[in-house]
Chains A and B, each alone.
Chain A
């Protein structure tokens, strides 16, 4: 195999060099220069798989005493790997954008799979572009489904295998079974999405955990879709409107705790931390008081802010001594939030406690 790679490298070294230089330019300069490596990559796929078919040079490799699997590695796995590396580097090091490993890797795998499949199916340059557009459109139709990138990757590999084998490979093993498995994966993935996300929260890789936590938060995964509203009347004043308390049909506190463990790991309360706090504050009936108190009493600013954010939704005064302490916190944000909470409670019941020395 190594001798085959060296032979092909000798033939195609200029294209490898173009891809490397183009990628370096794309990463360094960004912007419109990012298109350069993509163009070189497309050229590379054309030269690797399509031109040899037209020039009939690939038949020399086909005639070598190499097994079909080795030839599959040369024609599919090798260009796929190169493409994944290039696209990953481009998307990961995109100028002025946040470094996101998971999104970069999934984009790289998906796009490279479509490129390699198109280069195997096409017989010409125009055919290559047509197949890219067509396969990209098909993958776009699946984009709402969880794990669709994985399905695109599997189907691309198997379709390439079948096509390269000149239909000698078993249709059932290389087409029917992968399509069937992909459908099962898509359906079960979507049904078990929350469970899978929950499992991913336990994986000791922070980038994955935070991505999953964001997705769970976006879906409000720890609360049921159905909600009921309870009205809380003020015993002392029957003239004012009652407070509305939202009660979800289902509240998964364990999942919420796992999300909090991830989101509150940062050194400051990020936007996602505020969003979670805002959401949880709506469900005062379901709060885990013990944990809330733990966060409030914590020395970490992130947890203090989160707890205060949650307490903004409280319909009654809670943990007043601690909140009064936090008013004097050296952290401006903590102090401001503590004051905000007290102001809200000041509206609720002025007569229950003696006048507040702050006001």
Chain B
């Protein structure tokens, strides 16, 4: 389980990007990380994947500092983001061949199941793939390696409904089959309502709402979109 304790992160111009005293992510299930642009979602995901170091505090996985122990944890924590590109001039086959050859615990069963369910083109140049195909291909590069934490940084936002449905269903079943944590940064309310089990609402680097989605909806007796508006208004009033 990933835990965040006393986290602060400052930007290059010393602006406060994140200020989170405590945060826990639960598995199995999909946690939706919600917030406007600039709320700090991508920054939080980068810290959780060990790519960035916080100014203060700790982001840990099973008690280990994710940044310091990046080399040993990177096989367990995968980040899928448009900021992490594939080689556009090479093909899906090239990328898959490379990953399979260097991975020690590649699961052929998961690979075959994904090839069947995700309909990824087997030998197509990356720059010729559609957005949906690219996201599905990235899942194909990730899931057979059996990560325990999968972080998606707004990769599903621009996809059509069918693509999103396939991806979320796959992530959901993977999470329940393996006990993995899935954290998806998204603003698609429809996806959150349908697939998320927990939500974290970020605003200006702070967590203004966190909890199981069903409990939150029952407490407020309204839909999730309205809940977000309530909390954002509450924050403004404060």
Contacts and interface: CB of A to CB of B under 8 A. Distances in A.
Interface of A: 3-4, 7, 10-11, 55-57, 59-60, 63-68, 166-168
A228 to B, nearest CB: 66
23 contacts: A3-B101, A3-B102, A7-B90, A7-B97, A7-B98, A11-B90, A56-B84, A57-B86, A57-B87, A57-B88, A59-B51, A60-B85, A60-B87, A60-B95, A63-B78, A63-B79, A64-B98, A65-B75, A65-B102, A66-B102, A67-B71, A166-B53, A168-B68
A60 B84 CA distance: 7
Q: Which of B79, B101, B145 has most chain A Cβ within 10 Å?
A: B101
A64 B99 contact: yes
B84 A63 contact: yes
B84 A65 contact: no
A65 B85 contact: no
B90 A3 contact: no
Contacts of B84: 56, 59-60, 63
Given A166-B53, A168-B68, 13 more contacts: A4-B98, A7-B94, A7-B97, A11-B87, A55-B85, A57-B85, A59-B51, A59-B84, A63-B84, A64-B98, A64-B102, A166-B70, A168-B67
Contacts of B75: 65
Nearest to A3: B101
B87 A65 contact: no
Nearest to A11: B87
Contacts of A166: 53, 70
Given A65-B145, A68-B71, A3 B87 contact: no
Contacts of A56: 83-85
A10 B88 CA distance: 12
B74 interface: yes
A56 B53 CA distance: 18
Dominant secondary structure at the B interface: loop
Contacts of B97: 3, 7
B89 interface: yes
B233 interface: no
Contacts of A3: 97-98, 101-102
Contacts of A65: 74-75, 102-104, 145
A245 B67 CA distance: 73
B12 to A, nearest CB: 12
Contacts of B94: 7, 10
A87 to B, nearest CB: 28
A60 B78 CA distance: 11
A47 B95 CA distance: 19
A67 B94 CA distance: 21
A65 B145 CA distance: 10
Given A11-B89, A67-B71, A4 B102 contact: yes
Given A3-B97, A3-B102, A10-B94, A59 B70 contact: no
A63 B103 CA distance: 11
A166 B50 CA distance: 11
